[in-house]
Every structure is written in C-alpha cells, then in structure tokens.
Chain A
C-alpha cells in the first residue's frame, strides 16, 4: 500500500510538473505569438510603405516620363509647325514687282534669298514659279511680262545655287488676280511671282 502512495505521489508531482511545464510552455508560446503578429504587422506596414513609395516613385517617374514625352511631342509639333510655317511662308510670301517691270527690287531679292534658303533645306522639293501681272496692259503683253517675271525670279534662285531642274516657271499674265479691284493697292499685290511646291 505504501508503494502505491509513492507511485501516486510521484504521479502527482509529475503531473504537476507537467502542468507547470505546460503552463510555462504556454506562456512562451503566447509571448512568441505576440512577436510574430508585431513582426507581421511591421512587415505589412513596411511592405505597404514600400509599395506606396514604389507607387509614388512610379507615379513620379510616370509624370516625368509624361513630361518628357509631352515635351518631345511639343517640340515635334513645334518643329512640324515651324516646317509648315516655313513651307507656308515659302508658298504664301510673293515676290512683288513694279508696274510694267520684271526687275527685282532689294525687297524682292531678300525674299528670294529666303526662298533659296528654304529650297536648300528641302532638297527634294520641286517648285513652280508663277508670274502674274496687274490687269492694266493687254492680255498678250501681260502673258509675256508674267513669263519674264517668273524667269527673272528663277534665274536669281539659280544664281543663289538652286538647281534649275527643280524650278519650273509658268506665266498667268493677268488671268489670276489675287484682288480684282481696280485700285493701286490691288494692282500692287497682283504684280507678283508666286511659289508653289509641286
């Protein structure tokens, strides 16, 4: 019987010990869980932060990229506009002449130098120079005068180094006035060499 008591006692101690151990272990586990949660939270926060930062950075990059692209596009557009403007100027800016004259004034020569510069920047362009007159004078004489004006402009461009093979001429005489009013102002703008890109 005594032996049985001892066994029970030992058992009790063991169980208690077990309990103690168990409770001790449990305590450690609880403590560990808390750390993990914190760590996870921290990691999540860090991740979120990193993501946010990355997003922010990406966004920033994107904005920069966009800015760059915009700038490039703008420059492109500006360049295109400049080319177009130059082209339009080339086509719209007429060379003017005095009444019954095919001589080139200083202003006309300056205008032709601009034409020559454009032609050198646009070496593939072929052009037609139209000679026009005001409506005073007879139809046939004005056809001849317009022919002369177109040729004078062409010869000046050739002297500035533009290949003659790129320059076609045509006279319209008094057939295509820009302004059909019978005023000095109208006559003045009608006496012109007009440039057309073919």
Chain B
C-alpha cells in the first residue's frame, strides 16, 4: 500500500458528504445502510494527477447470489462487469485477472471475518471488492464492500436497493464511494460529457455518461450548434447555435422545457458558467470588439470583464469563481491570460509559442490546460500556474483540441484527429497517459465538456 499515506483531514467533510449522499439516495427511492464498523479514514488519497502514478491492483470477485436464482446470477454478472469497467476507466486502478484468484468469496462469504486476506495479499491484490445480490419481488439489493487486504480492513460497505434498471447507477454510486475513500474526491462516475456531433448531418449537441455510454441528443436545431457548457449543478447547458441565423448563446434546462437566448448584435459565443451561480461569462462583439462579459442566466450584462482592443474569447472560471482564464490577442498573438473579476489587470501566463488558446482551469485551481499550435501541430499542454512551466500532453497524434477536466481533475477529455484524421472524442489521464477513444459514433465529434 505504498501509494496510501496517513491522513485524517477528510473526516468532517466525509461525514457531511455521507449525509448528503444519504439524502440523495432517499430521493432515488433506494436505501442506504451504513455497515459496521463505522469506517475511519486512514488513507490519504491517491494523487490522481501524479504522472508517475502506479496503478493499484484491485481484485473484483463474483457477486454472491443470496437466493441463488438465475436472475440474481445474471444481474450479478452484469453488475460486476459494470463495476470492473467503471473502475478500469479511472486510470489509477488495475483490475486483476480472476484466473489468479485463490478463493471465491461468492461461496465462502463476502463479509469481514469470512475473508482470508492472505489469499489476496499473496497474489498482489492491494484492494478487494466483494458483492452480494438479493432479488425480491423485482427489487434488487446490492451489498458491496471494498477491503484493504494488507490491513484486513473494510474501507467501504454499502447496501443499495432499487429496480433492476438502476443497477448501473447503484454501481456508479459505489464507485464514487471507492473514489472518495481512495482519492479524497467523489470522482467521475456520476458525471456527464456534452459534445458536438455531426452524426445526423448538422452539428448538434449530445450528452453521454462519463464512460461514453447512454448517448442522448440534446439539440435538434438542424443548424450549427457548438461549445456546450454544463452548469455546476448539471441542470443547465449553455451552448452556441446559429439556429436564429447567427451565433447566439442558448441556455437550456436539461430536465424542464425552459431556457433563454442571449442574442446581442454580432457574435455571442464561448459561454462558461460561474461555479455555483446562475451566471455566465461569454464573449460578445456587439461593441465591434470581441470582449468578455459577465451575464445573468437571462443574458443581462452584469459587467464587462475585459477591456482591450483585439480578440478576447473563451473565458473559463477558476473553481472559486473569482477569476477567469481566457484567450486574448492583445499582445499580437493569441495567448492565455488570467484576470481577477474585481481587478483591472490581466496576467499573461503563456510565453512559449505563437498560438495558445482554449484554456480550462483544473478543479484543484492549480493548473491550466490549453491548446498550443506550433508549425501546424495542434496539441494539448498543461501548466502549473505557480511555476509557469508548460508540459506537453499530446504529441505526434493528429490535431488535439478542446481539453476539458474531469470533475475530480484526474482525467481530461479532448478532441483528436489521431484516428483516420477524423475528429473524435478521447479521454486521457491528467498526466497525458492512457489516451483512449470515449465513444463510437458516425461523423465528427468535437468540443467535449465534462460536467462539474
């Protein structure tokens, strides 16, 4: 367990989040039961952005069918597959091959006291996950546990109940618990990715789950729709569309049929939501110059944020909502700047290269990811704000654009033409490792935006 260190600083926040999550489950119509013993947090998080991170091996065992009927066995298999796929997606866990397993908790028992941890340490499993499934009157109950094998300790124990259709969601909630236990962050498992696709001919906005599944078409403008942006509660999408003949910002509630359009004269583009607020930053050109404004959800101008002749575009808020990072051509070439919303001065942060655009602030507030173009090579770079040192994350693999952070900062989604020269959506770890295609759709996919 070399990657885990002692730390207790997440105690109180963890408890608060537990309670919040409990309330959440009540809403879902499910039940949440805390299993004994009341867990204590003895582990520091896995530093998910460490580029030298070694993947932690985890053994995921067969789910125990409590009544032993065929339905339990089948749903158990499906649930286990969803669990393995989700954990594998994180990029910091290595799912072990079950051929090596020395015991079978589905038969010998899935609780603490029934598990022989030496069977698991012997094969190098740092973590063990057991599962049980009970089916009663069409309702599924999942009993899920995460163990630290070296310390023979239960780290997470959860019981979820709901209809079969919610199994995927239940597994993802459990994954969030695992993530929180191991990394101090709730992770990506309940997040969504919005993107632009030409699968039906025109550029329309789509959304999918964090793993590229559950693809849904959001817009049907039959026009050009671009630049989706999630509000921090995931309830709203802002995007740009030519549906009314020119680039305007559309604001759409995901659940309900309401929204608004921001359509000042000229262009209305690159919306980004202020964290925790129903306010947006966007670039408008009604003045004849492309400047960044702070807007209400209805499109009223709260204030003008930038004030320099030349292009100012692509604002993205800092996680605390006090600053924006944006692209400006004020010095002759497009470069990345940071500006406090309250102060007048903007600070330039990129000095290498003649074309740096499309910035995004990391969820921990420390880094900026952006796109740099050199000699027709379009690649993604990340910069630690304090050190100012850019690190190139993509190289020699087509054009790479539109980087967006996962909510826990462990991953990035982006657009790449590395496969057959066609724009497609990829994910990679924040260090640039493990790039992989997110989803398979016909046409071109661009501009992914990962929900907060």
A residues whose Cβ falls under 8 Å from a Cβ of B: 100, 136-141, 143-145, 147-148, 151, 169-172, 175, 182
Contacts and interface: CB of A to CB of B under 8 A. Distances in A.
Nearest to A169: B266
Given A171-B247, A171-B267, A140 B285 contact: no
11 contacts: A100-B333, A136-B373, A137-B334, A138-B314, A138-B357, A139-B402, A139-B447, A141-B357, A144-B290, A171-B285, A175-B203
A100 B357 CA distance: 12
Interface in B264-320: 266-267, 269-270, 283, 285, 288, 290, 311-314
Contacts of B418: none
B142 interface: no
A170 B376 contact: no
Find the residue from B267, B270, B283, B357 having the highest chain A CB count within 10 A: B267
Contact of B285 (A100, A138, A144, A175): A144
Contact of A144 (B203, B224, B311): B311
B267 A100 contact: no
Given A100-B334, A147-B266, A169-B266, A140 B227 contact: yes
Contacts of B355: 100, 137
By Cβ-Cβ distance, the 10 closest A-B pairs, closest first, are: A138-B358, A144-B313, A140-B270, A144-B311, A141-B357, A144-B290, A138-B357, A147-B267, A140-B314, A143-B269
B311 A138 contact: no
Contact of A151 (B240, B247, B285, B401): B285
A145 to B, nearest CB: 6
Given A139-B227, A151-B285, 8 more contacts: A136-B376, A140-B357, A143-B270, A147-B290, A148-B311, A169-B266, A171-B267, A175-B226
B394 interface: no
A170 B269 contact: no
Given A144-B285, A147-B285, A171-B267, A138 B290 contact: no
Given A100-B333, A148-B290, A141 B311 contact: yes
A140 B283 contact: yes
A180 to B, nearest CB: 11
Interface of B: 203, 224, 226-227, 240, 245-247, 266-267, 269-270, 283, 285, 288, 290, 311-314, 327, 333-334, 354-355, 357-358, 371, 373, 376, 378, 401-402, 421, 446-447
A144 B269 contact: yes
A136 B401 CA distance: 10
A100 B311 CA distance: 11
A139 B404 CA distance: 14
Contacts, number: 77
Contacts of B312: 144
A170 B246 contact: yes
Contacts of A100: 333-334, 354-355
Contacts of B240: 143
Given A100-B334, A136-B376, A147-B290, A141 B285 contact: no
Contacts of B266: 147, 169
Contacts of A151: 285, 288
Contacts of B333: 100
A164 B246 CA distance: 18
A171 B285 CA distance: 10
Contacts of A172: 224
Contact of A143 (B247, B334, B371, B421): B247
A138 B283 contact: no
Given A147-B266, A151-B288, A141 B358 contact: yes
Contact of A141 (B203, B314, B447): B314
A42 B358 CA distance: 103
A11 to B, nearest CB: 124
B284 to A, nearest CB: 10
Contacts of A148: 290, 311
A3 B101 CA distance: 186
Nearest to B203: A175
Contacts of A144: 267, 269, 283, 285, 290, 311-313
Contacts of A141: 311, 313-314, 327, 334, 357-358
Contacts of A169: 266
Nearest to A171: B267
B226 A139 contact: yes
A94 B11 CA distance: 65
Find the residue from B203, B313, B376, B401 having the highest chain A CB count within 10 A: B313
A143 B357 contact: no
A147 B224 CA distance: 16
A172 B226 CA distance: 11
A63 B270 CA distance: 69
Nearest to B271: A140
A151 B311 CA distance: 12
Nearest to A155: B288
Contacts of A143: 226, 240, 247, 267, 269-270, 313
Find the residue from A141, A169, A171, A175 having the highest chain B CB count within 10 A: A141
A24 B327 CA distance: 130
